[in-house]
A and B are shown apart, each in its own frame.
Chain A
Amino acid sequence: MPDTLLRIDDIACRYDQVIALDGLSLRLRRGEIGCLLGPSGCGKTTALRAIAGFEPLVRGSIWLGGRHIGMPGFGLPPDQRGVGMVFQDYALFPHLSAAQNVAFGLRGLPQRERRSIATRLLELVGLGGLSERYPHELSGGQQQRVAVARAVAPQPRLVLMDEPFSNLDVDLRERLGSDIRFLLKEQGVAALFVTHDQNEAFLIGDHIGVMCQGRLLQWDSAFNIYHQPAERFVADFIGQGRLISGVLCAANAVETSLGLIHGNVAYPWPAGHRVALLLRPDDIVPDPAGPVVGEVVARAFKGAETLYILRVGPETEVLCEVPSRLDYPIGARLRVRVEVEHLILFAD
């Protein structure tokens, strides 16, 4: 793979006796944006710090641009890796102005050139007039932009971002997210960032990895992560949905309490195998002539749609999204049909 920039083979890290990262492998190509997604404590930040060179490996190895930069017992120091990093708290130097912060990593250049690079980058992140401000004179979002500009200034091949948007409010997150994606793509910098917010991951990442308890469960496109989750945890963690138990009766058909459900994916398990079927809200369509009757047990108004939790059988619930002008109170009965394209099954 000639254009692989970052290659991580089966790495593991531990703090004292606790294994924080256990067998992570992934590839990232030049200019590609990857995202590690997972609940807090899943090891995603440890993964970033291992790539940056702050955590020693106990297993596996890391290659950057064909160079072996980390393995157990050895690691290129962080200052020689040429990897930029944006910290969760931004870590701007409080004694330096925005422009001086951005210019911090520029070395071997005349003063004037460093200044002009810093100014240009600050303009690129939309802070043209604020280059002389000190970090405490900037808002959270502005500090974040300075931190990103500082990380890309020395033209690293890879930028790591640790929950870069977690301290910002929701509106700002989306705007900054697309701005930063634009900046990274324009500079041709690959990035790996870490978040616990799936919307953020979907917005920015070309590839998304879902992590749990130190392991990477799936490394895939956003579409596949959502529609073809590789493991139960991924199905649960990404998007909304409910798992319904059933019995496989053909390679691509399941008998459930909602009836026989067909899909376009074939599973290798024998007929009669007990399985769990993932049903997303968009798999359940309201239909006055539908074969399934559900009782509304809870509802959440979301503007254009209302999300209903329907009880369709003893201990069986599904989610259903209905245009919000159709209003059903709690306890109402609603006819639906199941419309599944990909059959997502897990062994039960």
Chain B
Amino acid sequence: MLTADADLAISHRVAPRPRGQWLLRAGALLLGAITAVPLAVLFGAWLSPQTLVWQHLATTVLPELLRNTFALLVGVGAGTLVLGCGLAWLTARCEFPGRAWLDWALMLPLALPAYVLAFVVQGLFNPSGPVRWVLHSLPGGGSITFEARGTGWVIGILTLAFYPYVYLLARAAFLGIGRGTLEAARLLGLGPWATFFRVVLPMARPAIVAGLALALMETLADFGAVSVFNFDTFTTAIYKAWFGLFNLPAAAQLASLLLLFVALTLVAERRLRGRARFHETARGAPAPRIVLSGWRAGLAAAATGVVVAAGFALPVAQLLAWVATSAATELDVRYWTWLSHTLLLGGSAALVTLSGALLLGLARRQFSDRTTLAAVELSSLGYAIPGSVLAVGVMLSFSGIDNSLDALWRHAGGDHLGPLLGGSIASLLLAYLIRFLAVANGPVSSALECLRPSLIEAARTLGARGLDLIGRVYLPLLRPGLVTAALLVVVEVMKEMPATLLLRPFGWDTLAVRIFEFTSEGDWRRAALPALTLVLASLGPVIWLARRTASGNPSA
């Protein structure tokens, strides 16, 4: 038998936690701070109030901004609620001809960014557009004049663009109510209508409220669609303050006001949802559908069909028509440059975001102290911050750092340093990281959940360690989740408009930026090719989502 001392030389220390775990925690805290700093800087802008600019804003644009924002919130809220819940009820609980494919086709408008829908509608209704042409060719139609602008139109566009959030969540909730629950309600003496109002709706409420909150946040964050309609909201005002007045502090003050609206929406959602969590998935048999027939079936099919046509099929057809006439001149080296910029940004953002999501997920597995959990929670809130707000916060933080560096450099006897971080790719990637971390978090954390501790321990007792362990156990198990997360982030970044527009380095154009510039010149035809590219790219994740929700299996 060897002596203990001889053997100790080849033994290794067994720590309660593997070495380097504190790095995970530090990383999670850093990610939390990264989200918090730009927000703190925004509110810090109130410490140096731009009195003159602010007075000008307050007397001229602010009342209109508030009015417009309230109108949008109320209008889009009501619209998405009615459209989303109604359609979800029809496809989840009823049976009518065409239901099976309308069910997933109703998710397709998610692939169409709101600003694409907006400019297609502008193009369709513009004085030389096809709708006007059809009207004029009708007898007596020549006298009809109207313009596609104003609050009603914007509400309509945003409702069509954002109802899928309510639809998806409400549909899942309706599907999740099992036959047993409904039968129990009937046995306890409730009629069909009472069952709906006292059982189905309360059970689905948390999901519906969550979907509504998502739709409202998207409404607050929207920049592209409202600017196509020249409809002033906080996001467009921020853009004008920054690029029109070159007044970043005024933009920051506007951004912090917008952020208040977002915070109010979040708080309202928490309140309305109460302590209820998302619906439980049904066990046992699903409840039977209500079979519609006759004119009811026709009406149901027509209503859902119209929504799919207006929200997806017609706009895509118009885009295709435009591309057919413009592709010959537009599909040139500039297009490929924009596309490569877009993909490069999307790819790098996916890399950064995935690393962040992995780090957060691993930290959450290992640590359960309040600080870590708070950091994790904080960093997942980034998705709620509108892109334009985020851009202002990141820009202010980075120019603060730039100024201090410059001061230091000059103190050391150097020349003027100029901006290093502000307006760089780094600032853009940081904004993407903050905004899309929550997007990557979902698939990554569900992938990490498959990675039970006993699997790792089993691999270790079988002699695997280090790279071998990572290559043979960690990576194969995490791969599906990581691929999904990367795909989602790439598409989100491709579609992202306001932050990219505000933070991109000079001359660094992406597809979304070009769409903004073409549409602000009213050049719908040339905007069609980049827009169609975005729609095609977005179809992948939407189909993935549709499949996942159709099977009801949340495996990433």
User: B7 touches which one: A56, A68, A89, A104 (CB < 8 A)?
Assistant: A68
Q: Which residues of B contact A74 (CB under 8 A)?
A: 8, 11-14
Verify A104–B4 contact, CB threshold 8 A.
no
Verify B11–A68 contact, CB threshold 8 A.
yes
Q: Which residues of B contact A76 (CB under 8 A)?
A: 10-12
Task: Report the stretch among B125-133, B279-287, B438-446, B469-477 that lies at the interface.
Answer: B469-477
Q: Taking the nearest CB of chain B, how far is it from the CB of A84, in angstroms?
A: 6
Verify A93–B461 contact, CB threshold 8 A.
no
Verify A87–B454 contact, CB threshold 8 A.
yes
- Is there a chain B Cβ closer than 8 Å to A151's Cβ? yes
Verify B15–A66 contact, CB threshold 8 A.
no
- Is there a chain B Cβ closer than 8 Å to A186's Cβ? no
User: A84 touches which one: B7, B13, B461, B476 (CB < 8 A)?
Assistant: B461
- Is there a chain A Cβ closer than 8 Å to B464's Cβ? yes
- Is there a chain B Cβ closer than 8 Å to A261's Cβ? no
- Is there a chain B Cβ closer than 8 Å to A61's Cβ? yes
User: B11 touches which one: A52, A69, A95, A105 (CB < 8 A)?
Assistant: A69
Verify A67–B455 contact, CB threshold 8 A.
no
- Is there a chain B Cβ closer than 8 Å to A280's Cβ? no
Q: Which residues of A contact B458 (CB under 8 A)?
A: 85, 87, 91-93, 150
Verify B4–A61 contact, CB threshold 8 A.
yes
Q: Which residues of B contact A92 (CB under 8 A)?
A: 458
Q: Which residues of A contact B473 (CB under 8 A)?
A: 93
Verify A94–B477 contact, CB threshold 8 A.
yes
- Is there a chain B Cβ closer than 8 Å to A54's Cβ? yes
User: A66 touches which one: B2, B452, B463 (CB < 8 A)?
Assistant: B2
| Interface hub of B11, B458, B459 (most chain A Cβ within 10 A) | B458
Q: Taking the nearest CB of chain B, how far is it from the CB of A78, in angstroms?
A: 4
Q: Which residues of B contact A79 (CB under 8 A)?
A: 460-465, 469
Verify B461–A52 contact, CB threshold 8 A.
yes
Verify B460–A78 contact, CB threshold 8 A.
yes
Q: Known interface pairs A91-B458, A104-B472. Does A77 touch B465 (Cβ–Cβ under 8 Å)? A: yes
- Is there a chain A Cβ closer than 8 Å to B1's Cβ? yes
Q: Which residues of A contact B476 (CB under 8 A)?
A: 93, 95
User: A67 touches which one: B2, B16, B463 (CB < 8 A)?
Assistant: B2
What is the total number of residues of chain B having a CB less than 8 Å from a CB of chain A? 30
> What is the CA–CA distance of A70 and B2 in the complex, to the nearest angstrom?
13
Nearest-CB residue, chain A, relative to B8: A74
Verify A71–B457 contact, CB threshold 8 A.
no
Nearest-CB residue, chain A, relative to B466: A79
> What is the CA–CA distance of A84 and B463 in the complex, to the nearest angstrom?
9
Verify B462–A105 contact, CB threshold 8 A.
yes
> What is the CA–CA distance of A99 and B12 in the complex, to the nearest angstrom?
32
Nearest-CB residue, chain A, relative to B479: A95
Find residues 472-507 in chain B having any chain A CB closer than 8 Å to their own CB: 472-473, 476-477
> What is the CA–CA distance of A95 and B10 in the complex, to the nearest angstrom?
34
Find residues 84-131 in chain A having any chain B CB closer than 8 Å to their own CB: 84-85, 87-89, 91-95, 104-105, 107
Q: Known interface pairs A66-B2, A150-B462. Does A95 touch B477 (Cβ–Cβ under 8 Å)? A: yes
Verify B11–A56 contact, CB threshold 8 A.
no
Q: Known interface pairs A61-B4, A71-B4, A74-B8. Does A89 touch B452 (Cβ–Cβ under 8 Å)? A: yes
Q: Which residues of A contact B472 (CB under 8 A)?
A: 104
- Is there a chain A Cβ closer than 8 Å to B450's Cβ? yes
Nearest-CB residue, chain A, relative to B456: A91
> What is the CA–CA distance of A95 and B458 in the complex, to the nearest angstrom?
14
Q: Which residues of B contact A107 (CB under 8 A)?
A: 463
- Is there a chain B Cβ closer than 8 Å to A73's Cβ? yes
Q: Known interface pairs A74-B14, A75-B11, A104-B472. Does A91 touch B454 (Cβ–Cβ under 8 Å)? A: yes
Verify B14–A53 contact, CB threshold 8 A.
yes
- Is there a chain B Cβ closer than 8 Å to A141's Cβ? no
Q: Which residues of B contact A69 (CB under 8 A)?
A: 7, 11
Verify A68–B8 contact, CB threshold 8 A.
yes
Verify B14–A77 contact, CB threshold 8 A.
yes
Contact with A along B424-459 (1 / 0, CB 8 A): 000000000000000000000000001010110111
Verify A87–B457 contact, CB threshold 8 A.
yes
Q: Known interface pairs A75-B13, A77-B460, A107-B463. Does A91 touch B455 (Cβ–Cβ under 8 Å)? A: yes
| Interface hub of A69, A70, A76, A95 (most chain B Cβ within 10 A) | A95
| Interface hub of B15, B459, B463, B469 (most chain A Cβ within 10 A) | B463
Verify A67–B7 contact, CB threshold 8 A.
yes
Q: Which residues of B contact A177 (CB under 8 A)?
A: none
> What is the CA–CA distance of A53 and B458 in the complex, to the nearest angstrom?
12
Find residues 135-168 in chain A having any chain B CB closer than 8 Å to their own CB: 150-151, 154, 160
Q: Which residues of A contact B2 (CB under 8 A)?
A: 66-68
- Is there a chain B Cβ closer than 8 Å to A83's Cβ? yes
Verify A94–B13 contact, CB threshold 8 A.
no
Verify A85–B461 contact, CB threshold 8 A.
yes
> What is the CA–CA distance of A87 and B8 in the complex, to the nearest angstrom?
28
Contact with A along B307-350 (1 / 0, CB 8 A): 00000000000000000000000000000000000000000000
> What is the CA–CA distance of A56 and B15 in the complex, to the nearest angstrom?
7
User: A93 touches which one: B1, B4, B11, B455 (CB < 8 A)?
Assistant: B455
Nearest-CB residue, chain A, relative to B14: A75
Nearest-CB residue, chain A, relative to B9: A74
Q: Known interface pairs A68-B2, A91-B455. Does A154 touch B463 (Cβ–Cβ under 8 Å)? A: yes
Verify B14–A83 contact, CB threshold 8 A.
no
Verify A78–B4 contact, CB threshold 8 A.
no
> What is the CA–CA distance of A95 and B14 in the complex, to the nearest angstrom?
29
Verify B14–A56 contact, CB threshold 8 A.
yes
Q: Which residues of B contact A160 (CB under 8 A)?
A: 461
Nearest-CB residue, chain B, relative to A78: B460
Q: Taking the nearest CB of chain A, how far is it from the CB of B5, in angstroms?
A: 9
Q: Taking the nearest CB of chain B, how far is it from the CB of A161, in angstroms?
A: 12
Q: Taking the nearest CB of chain A, how far is it from the CB of B17, in angstroms?
A: 10
The chain A residues found within 8 Å of chain B, CB to CB, are: 52-56, 61, 63, 66-71, 73-85, 87-89, 91-95, 104-105, 107, 150-151, 154, 160
| 18 residue pairs A–B, Cβ–Cβ below 8 Å | A53-B460, A56-B14, A56-B15, A56-B16, A67-B2, A68-B11, A74-B11, A74-B14, A75-B11, A75-B12, A77-B465, A79-B460, A79-B465, A80-B463, A85-B458, A94-B477, A150-B458, A151-B461
The chain B residues found within 8 Å of chain A, CB to CB, are: 1-2, 4, 7-8, 10-16, 450, 452, 454-455, 457-465, 469, 472-473, 476-477
Q: Given contact pairs A68-B8, A79-B465, A83-B461, enumerate 12 new A-B contacts (beta carbons under 8 Å).
A: A52-B457, A66-B2, A71-B4, A74-B11, A76-B10, A79-B463, A84-B461, A93-B473, A94-B450, A104-B464, A105-B463, A154-B462
**Which 7 pairs of residues, A with B, have the shortest CB-CB distance?**
A105-B462, A75-B14, A91-B454, A91-B458, A68-B7, A78-B460, A85-B461
